Amino acid sequence: MTAGPVGVALVGAGVISGQYLCNLTSFPDVRVLAVADLDAGRAAAVAREHGVPVSGSLADVLALPEVELVVNLTVPAAHAAVALESLRAGKHVYGEKPFAMDPAEGAAILAEAAARGLRAGGAPDTFLGAGLQSALHALRSGLIGEPVAVTAATQSLGPESWHPNPEFFYQPGGGPLYDLGPYYLTALVSLLGPVARVAASTRRARAERVVGSGPKAGTTFPVDVPTHVNALLDFPGTATAAATFSFDSPVNRRMIEIIGTEGALSLPDPNTFEGPLLARGAHDTDWRELPVSGTTTSRGIGVLDMARSLRAGTPHRASGELAYHVLELMAAIAEAGERGEFRAITSTLTAPEPLPDGWDPHAATLA
């Protein structure tokens, strides 16, 4: 199709699918046509709950000619396989983070999309929300001068206290770096541009963890990834960043602070779409809150921007190139932690342009 709303199928009917479906089914510029899952009963229940007409297997939804874009919400280990199968069926694909399990898989997705004239995109799309878009405008206005340094942190005791099936968070493709790192790294790249090299130190506090809720509460499971990561990132020509990603901290922290030559910015939690956004001048004694504008609609706006860009023939912002760069950053951070040395980043990209003023996810622009 070259006109009208974009037909979408969602693959993976797990916990996060509800948030995507609530939003996607409210956007006039997309039509959610199908839900697929390995568990056919779960796919049917989720489709029924959100008024989606078709449910079934991946093959079932890929066979629908009206489906143009697949939203891949499967577990990380399946991201690349589902993306490649969707591309080979002639569908554009947008995947949850991480883009793939490793850069080789991510490169295969980009190559397949390019060879077929299709698009690949990837979460997170939180950088398109009002909070981080307003931060981007503040930086570009010169409010704090030239960026010099960044301090970023996400710290907690991990998701096993609330998630009924937390095991995958502690397997390859998980851990605080791969689970939460994409929000922080995508935010930084969207604000400051690509990273040239990284270094890191990593730790694993415990070999086993305990499920804290749901029917498996009290069950132990193995931890196969680092659970505390300290990373250094060099942005060529701009700032250097120190970032901490931890599932070992009794102190909960969600922060990004950017120091500039003329002041500083304190950004909202990059796992959200809202504020607050704070600033202070070089000689101020306290922070002041800046106005925040833009959309606060949550997960799925990256899919919508991709759908609208498909029709317009323009670049979409939550692109495969951005998701791949962040994937390479995470892999390099993990490798740097093992080797104790800086690792060069080979991929690069042009940071995405901000959303236009007045961008409204609930406007019908493709009718």
240-245 mean pLDDT: 98
Higher pLDDT, 325 or 237: 325
Distance of alpha carbon 230 from alpha carbon 184, whole angstroms? 13
Residue 88 — very low, low, confident or very high, per pLDDT cuts 50/70/90? very high
Asked if the model's pLDDT at residue 117 lies above 70, the reply is yes
pLDDT, tens digit, 9 for 90 and up, residues 3-25: 899 999 999 999 899 999 999 99
Q: What is the pLDDT of residue 173?
A: 81
With beta carbons less than 8 A apart as the criterion, state whether 106 and 327 touch: yes
With beta carbons less than 8 A apart as the criterion, state whether 53 and 66 touch: no
Distance of alpha carbon 236 from alpha carbon 83, whole angstroms? 32
Q: What is the pLDDT of residue 324?
A: 98
Computed over every residue of the chain, the mean pLDDT equals 96
Residue 1 — very low, low, confident or very high, per pLDDT cuts 50/70/90? low
Token duo for residue 227: 């659970």
Contacts of 97 (CB under 8 A, 6+ apart): 122, 123, 124, 178, 182, 183, 323, 326
* pTM for the full predicted model: 0.95
Residue 23 φ then ψ, to 5°: -80, -50
How many residues are recorded in the chain? 367
Q: What is the pLDDT of residue 15?
A: 87
